[in-house]
Each structure stands twice: as structure tokens, then as C-alpha cells.
Amino acid sequence: MSSHSHSQIELHQIGQSFVTHQHNVHLFADLSFSIKQGQSYAITGPSGSGKSSLLMLASGLEQPTAGKVVYSNQGHTQPLSQIRSEIGFIFQQFHLLPEFDALNNVALPLKLRGDKQALTIAKQWLEKVGLGHRLKHKPAELSGGEQQRVAIARALVFNPKFIFADEPTGNLDAHSAGDIADLLFDCCREKGAGLVLVTHSDFLAQQAQHQLRLNAGKCEWLNAQQGVADTARHGNQRHA
């Protein structure tokens, strides 16, 4: 973890807007902050506030209409695209491949990277997320909570530096959501991965070390663990 302490994704004065039906919609503007490896971040806000868009910008899936997003490691900056292979995703709909069993779904990223130990490592991860007894089950034979556990194992199995999760508990009941949240934070912490998640759940958001609330184009930092609000105004840079 300490070796990653200077590895971070930096968002510099980014803004996002788009045109729909001849109307210009501004989601947010002039937003700057850093996502540090090993730290956890929750993005909250009402529907349509731009949470998912911010997640996409931060993960490099989309380019901002203003500003830039870069990766910085020990003072050296490089485009975010350079570390695409170090970024993993977790989805609300899990998106496991239905033809594969749990073991092979988790082994998938390693197999694609040519790892000869793919199945062994995948098995260890499934045991870690409590599914050691479900190795040969296909997604359709697993509950929503179990599927998301498999998805978490799959996202972390290749040791990414950052994990981006979009509503990871959005499809789960309260009990399962709690378990998944614990698992997600624990695994990221253990592996030293930076975690950025979008959620509507206050419970989940409060477990993150940093909380960013988007609302009507405004961004507000909340110190979730201390319950102290800190407003990130336009042009401010927040180092969490």
C-alpha cells in the first residue's frame, strides 16, 4: 500500500456538458480533485446529477468537455489511457458471462493476460468472497448477491490499481448490500486498490473515506467518516 501512496488519478478543472434536443445541459464544471490509490471514494447525488458521467471521466471511459484527467505516479504524469490495464469495473447488473461458471468468470481476466495460474488464483478469490462452494455454478444458478461477489472477485483478481463501481449494491436487498459493501471495501483495502463508487445508498457512501455529492451542477465534499461537510467550490482542489 505504501508503495502506491503517490499513485493517483488527477482531475484538473474538468467540466462536462452535452447537447440534447437543442438544449445545452451542464452537468458540472471546473471540478478538480485527485483519486488516490488505496483510498475509497463515494459519489452520491440525485438521478441526473452526473454521477455516472463523473465516474466515466475519472476512469477514462469518456473525455471531459473541459479540463483534463491524468494519471500521476511519484511526480510523473501520464495520460490515463496508459494505465487502462490497471483499472477494473464493477457493474450494477453484474455482467457476468452467462455461459461461464463462477470459476471461469473470475479466471477470465487472468486467462486473457496469459496467466497460467488463472484457475488457481480465481479459486482462491472465490473462497475469499465466500463462494468456494459455488465454483461450478453458472450465473443463472446464483443469487444477485452471489453474482455480485463473483463480479467483485473478477474485478480484483488481476490486482488493478483502481476499481470503479457503478451502483454495486443497487440490485441487492439491504442485507446483501451490507455484506457486499463490507466485502468490496475490505478487498480494496487489502489489495491497496483505489475504489470509486457511485451510489444512492447513504449507508454505502458513509463507508467510503471520501464522499462527493453532486447536485444541480454543484459539488460538495462530505467527510463521510467524520461527518464533516466541506464544500468543494469551483476552482478548488481537494486533496483527500
User: From residue 113, how far is each of 110, 151, 158, 176, 204 by CA, in Å?
Assistant: 5, 18, 9, 31, 32
Among positions 38, 50, 64, 109, the unique one binding another protein when judged by CB under 8 A? 109
Does the protein bind another protein through residue 95 (CB under 8 A)?
yes
Residue type, 121: I
Residue 91 burial (CB count, 10 A): 17
CB nearer another protein, residue 171 or residue 236: 171
Which member of 21, 74, 76, 99 binds another protein (CB under 8 A)?
Answer: 99
Half-sphere exposure of 239 (CA within 13 A, CB side): 4
Residue 136 in the binding site for another protein (CB under 8 A): no
CB of residue 82 vs another protein: minimum separation in angstroms? 11
Task: Build a one-symbol-per-residue string for 188-227: x at contacts with another protein by CB under 8 A, - elsewhere.
Answer: ----------------------------------------
Which of these, 88, 90, 87, lies nearest to 147 by C-alpha position? 90
Planar angle of CA 151, 172, 53, nearest 5 degrees: 70
The residues in 15-54 that bind another protein, with binding defined as CB under 8 A, are 52
| Residue 72, strand partner residues | 8, 77
Q: Where does this chain bind another protein (CB under 8 A)?
A: 52, 55-56, 59, 61-62, 84-89, 91-93, 95, 97, 99-100, 104, 108-116, 118-119, 154-155, 158, 160, 166
